[in-house]
Structure 1
Amino acid sequence: MLDDNITDSITHRVANKTFTFTTPAADSPIEVLNEYYWTEEKEPHFSRRKLILARHPEVAKLTGYETKTKWYVIGVVLLQFYVAYYLRNTPIFNWKFIALAYVIGATANQALFLAIHELSHNLLFKKPIHNKIFAVFTNLPIGIPYAASFQPYHQLHHKFLGDKYLDADLPTKFESVILSNVLGKVFFATFQILFYALRPMFVTQIKFTSIHLLNIVAQVSTDYVLVQLCGWHAFGYFIMSSFLAGSLHPCAGHFIAEHYVLNENNRARTELKDGISISADLLPPETYSYYGSLNLLTWNVGYHNEHHDFPYIAWTKLPELRRIAHEFYDPLPQVKSWCGVIWYFCFDDINTLWNRVKRDGKEKHGTSINNLDQNN
């Protein structure tokens, strides 16, 4: 934490220009210290997509679904059911149960979360309805129905990145006020799966569809049969796996790594003028990619700038996109470690829940959430 009347001078390079700016002192007004990065600038992915397509039109050929993904997903689902059956007579708080739930279960269910993410972009099958139905199947080892709701919320995240009304990935002001301290951040990182599950209902609402009903009926029926045949411990394995997948687990680092403005990417909030906390020239990048080995377990979700630039390119083609358009991606800030992200998010004072880029949501007035095209 900075001493009361001490400021740090920071130099940063943006768009080939060097800026030097000063971090506010710890006794700066609370309006300066505790605020998001408010901006009127549009999100960067649309414009970068246009530039990449103009220079590399061959990138368009990378779009489309990946046929082999479904076989991997089926394998992960069957693995989870097998381990649940294996642990049917093992006490939930037994060391073996917890170890298997953390090492196998959490890793597998994180893969299923992100398979549902691929399905939300229709990247496993040609027809959208087939992706929706398969997402219901993919949801089964997670234990709680969520796949049907994830797609429309995730579409909003892409279409209205940073919108305070429509992007449910953003922490609310209540979360930021209460949890922007060491204990709060540790609590957030430990229980972040609950924040991602519950926050959307408080931010915006979506239309209930027949796919939501199918998701609920299929999940509740499967859970009931599992409990009847294998007992509550098997179902408990599913729930613990899902909880740990979004907790202090290496693969869970992607939740924070993707859009939080951390460490040297942080910018000084030197003033609040007309609701804007930072100049456009100093607007920090708001999406970050990770190119490490954990991508092998998470459908390359670490290629997150690439994914937001081209959300209809399947996970297997994202490394090729980066190779083709390397001049666009190599200069961008990168995350080196998802484990490291969790650590320095929790224990570095400069990193808080306020470290997100937000937009004022003027688009909300012209958007009907219930009328979003569910076939996209």
Structure 2
Amino acid sequence: MATFANPETRFDLFGGAEELPPSLRPRTSARSTSPSSSSTGTPASSSDSEEAETRATTPGVDEGKPAWVLPGEQWAPRTIEPAMDGSDFLWQMTEEPHRTRRKAILKAHPEITKLMGHEPLTKWVVLFVTLVQFSTAFYLRNTPFFSWKFWILAYLIGGTANQNTFLAVHEITHNLAFRGVRANRLFAIFANLPIGVPFAMMFKKYHIEHHKFLGEDGMDTDLPSRLELLVLKTVLGKTFFCTFQIFFYALRPGFIRYQAPTRWIALNMVVQLSFNALVVKFLGWYSMLYFLLSSHMAGSLHPCAGHFIAEHYLFDGHDQETWSYYGPLNILCYNVGLHQEHHDFPSVPWTRLWKLHDIAKEFYDPLPAHTSWPGVTWRFITDPQVGMWSRVKRKGKGDPRGNDGGGGVELVANAGGLKDE
């Protein structure tokens, strides 16, 4: 098992680092056979052993010419060797790539800071989707739970709407619906109502850590546990995970990393349970079960649920730990498919992620991306080379640099949702 890199070492392109981590060192690109050198001006290591690994030796090639055509090729994934056998996760000694790439992108395109900030449209989308769910719940108030109509509507309308709501809360968690943190918190509690289970305030705590400590064992609760790796190895186990993954994401954090309750979590619970009681009292249990079943469908074998796996699992034998998806289902999901872009800049709202992508296109075009969320789910289940173990993990106890997770938070106060109050 690899050991964690010296926490005193700074692996960023513009922080005066003398050496980049192996996964970020220049390498010969598939697009060109000329010698490697960083497009940002960072030289490769001067040691002979590293020179052989990171520079091409083609005779007669101009030594000063970059080895890659686009800056993004510097972050292109490497092939995992030896191939993963399902017995363990991929342990890395390097820091997560987003902080370093963010610095490079901002240096090349400082105008990206203008994309940061809240998006007023978010609140109207949330209100519309919430109205759709309330209307459907009212319509089904006298429909038996074990009926085809109930389950079909819960899957088609409820699953899609509640997946949209999950991702609305994700957007609001980054303080991107309103200018103020308090307003975003209160609105997240409101958006939580159709879900049926209070999760918004607890999700905020864990999700902020997911950005700050991506891949860190014991800190990033998006990572599967070793128990999951051992128990869910087979096709049947992976099918079970995909069918009930919403429960894994809901329950895993409590086992991996305890978070002390806060007054906001308490308020979230009181509001949600009070709302549930009112639904049962005035509409009946069928309406309440519709909300709960919709939440299950949203995190089960639903086309939009593929994003849970697509975002950070390893595919194609690469060590790329964040993947984007640029397909049509982004329309229903706050463009969460643009996940490379989101992790690079958490303070850019969903409506401007495509603009971010277009501005920094040379950084994102060289990176592999998914073409289908349902296809990702199918492949995860059926491909013996992919499974719960297909995740990057790092050893560490938080961020020794006191890094706030980046994303331009220091440039736009509270815009990235990585600071609480």
Shorter-chain TM-score bucket reads 0.7 to 0.9
TM-superposed deviation, 1:158: 0.1
2:76 touches 2:366 (CA, 8 Å); kept in 1?
no
Match of 1:297 in 2: 332
1:73 touches 1:112 (CA, 8 Å); kept in 2?
yes
2:86 touches 2:387 (CA, 8 Å); kept in 1?
no
Distance 1:149 1:18 in 2: 33
Residue 323 to residue 206, structure 1, CA distance change in 2 (3 Å) = same
Match of 2:420 in 1: 375
Match of 1:338 in 2: 373
Q: Secondary structure at the match of 2:314?
A: coil
Aligned partner of 1:310 among 336, 342, 345: 345
Distance 1:22 1:164 in 2: 22
Hey, which of these two has a bigger chunk of helix by percent? 1
Choose 184-193 or 204-213, whichever is displaced more: 204-213
Give runs of aligned pairs for residues 150-299 of structure 1, distance below 5 A. 150-262=203-315, 264=316, 266-267=317-318, 284-299=319-334
Match of 1:321 in 2: 356
Match of 2:139 in 1: 86
Map Cα deviations across residues 327-346 of structure 1 (whole Å, 9 max, x no partner): 00000010100000000000
TM-superposed deviation, 1:229: 0.6
TM-superposed deviation, 1:110: 0.3
Q: Secondary structure at the match of 2:353?
A: helix
Distance 1:333 1:214 in 2: 42
TM-superposed deviation, 1:40: 1.1
Residue 22 to residue 132, structure 1, CA distance change in 2 (3 Å) = closer
TM-superposed deviation, 1:21: 7.2
TM-superposed deviation, 1:206: 1.5
Residue 366 to residue 174, structure 1, CA distance change in 2 (3 Å) = farther
User: 1:88 is aligned with what amino acid?
Assistant: R
Q: Secondary structure at the match of 2:247?
A: helix
User: 1:208 is aligned with what amino acid?
Assistant: P
Match of 2:193 in 1: 140
1:290 touches 1:336 (CA, 8 Å); kept in 2?
yes
TM-score, normalised by the number of residues in structure 1: 0.86
2:326 touches 2:338 (CA, 8 Å); kept in 1?
yes
Asked if 1:357 corresponds to 2:392, the answer is yes
Match of 1:36 in 2: 89
TM-superposed deviation, 1:300: 0.2
Residue 16 to residue 99, structure 1, CA distance change in 2 (3 Å) = closer
TM-superposed deviation, 1:135: 0.4
- Aligned-residue Cα RMSD (Å) equals 2.1
Distance 1:19 1:208 in 2: 41
Distance 2:392 2:162 in 1: 29
Map Cα deviations across residues 223-271 of structure 1 (whole Å, 9 max, x no partner): 0010011110000000000000000000000000000002x2x25xxxx
TM-superposed deviation, 1:71: 0.7
Asked if 1:113 corresponds to 2:166, the answer is yes
TM-superposed deviation, 1:364: 7.0
2:85 touches 2:385 (CA, 8 Å); kept in 1?
no
Unaligned runs of 5+ in 2: 1-28, 31-72, 403-416
TM-score, normalised by the number of residues in structure 2: 0.77
Give runs of aligned pairs for residues 32-111 of structure 1, distance below 5 A. 33-111=86-164
User: 1:312 is aligned with what amino acid?
Assistant: S
Ranked by relative contact order (alpha carbons within 8 Å, sequence separation 6 or more), the top structure is: 1
TM-superposed deviation, 1:207: 2.5
Map Cα deviations across residues 302-343 of structure 1 (whole Å, 9 max, x no partner): 000000000000000000000000000000010100000000
Residue 20 to residue 93, structure 1, CA distance change in 2 (3 Å) = closer
Q: How many residues align?
A: 337
Residue 323 to residue 195, structure 1, CA distance change in 2 (3 Å) = same
Q: Secondary structure at the match of 1:144?
A: coil
Which is higher, the Rg of structure 1 or of structure 2? 2
